[in-house]
């Protein structure tokens, strides 16, 4: 993947917020909606953008799509994601997002802490 494409993915606030959250682990679309408080189209499109350019990957989990950072990232991508995490650490919007993520009910997501099988088919968000 080209370096420029990485930067193209990083030059939108919504996408930075998505990537920031994904730094914590896999998430489903509705949780992004809940945390970012942005409309579904917006979230979905930006996730599609990131996926098309190989920054994230998605798998279907029952009714939900679970997104995560690509498992086999290039050195350039790794470096830039690390740099991003570092830059973002002090910034209000991103800290607030992480705070809301922690408070959110993630019961439909595979990142559930207790390791229980994910309860499927119930209302999520």
In the complex, the residues that contact its own copies under the rule CB under 8 A are 3-4, 7-8, 10-13, 16, 75-76, 79-80, 83, 86-88, 91
- Taking residues 5 to 34 in sequence order and writing x for each that binds DNA by CB under 7 A, - otherwise, the string is ---x--xx-xx------------xxx--x-
- The reply on whether position 62 binds DNA by CB under 7 A is yes
- The reply on whether position 55 binds DNA by CB under 7 A is no
Beta-bridge mates of residue 66: 28, 59
Asked whether the CA dihedral 104, 105, 108, 110 is positive or negative, the reply is positive
Residue 114: DSSP 8-state = T
* Residue 69 beta carbon to its own copies: minimum distance, rounded to whole angstroms: 17
Distance, CA of 113 to CA of 107 (rounded, Å): 9
Question: Using alpha carbons only, how large is the chain's radius of gyration in Å?
Answer: 14
Q: Residue 45 binds which one of DNA, its own copies, none, with CB within 5 to 8 A depending on kind?
A: DNA
Q: What is the largest CA-CA distance in the chain?
A: 41
- The reply on whether position 70 binds DNA by CB under 7 A is no
Number of other CB atoms surrounding residue 120 within 10 Å: 11
- Taking residues 79 to 118 in sequence order and writing x for each that binds DNA by CB under 7 A, - otherwise, the string is -----------------------------x----------
């Amino acid at each position: 993947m080209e370096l420029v494409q990485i930067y193209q993915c990083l030059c939108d606030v919504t996408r930075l917020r998505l990537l920031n959250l994904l730094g914590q682990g896999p998430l489903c679309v509705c949780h992004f909606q809940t945390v970012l408080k942005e409309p579904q189209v917006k979230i979905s499109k930006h996730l599609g953008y990131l996926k098309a350019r190989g920054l994230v990957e998605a798998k279907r989990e029952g009714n939900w799509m679970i997104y995560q950072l690509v498992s086999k990232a290039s050195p350039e991508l790794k470096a830039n994601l690390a740099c991003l995490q570092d830059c973002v650490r002090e910034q209000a919007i991103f800290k607030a997002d992480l705070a809301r993520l922690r408070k959110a009910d993630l019961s439909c997501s595979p990142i559930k802490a207790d390791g229980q099988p994910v309860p499927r088919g119930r209302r999520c968000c």
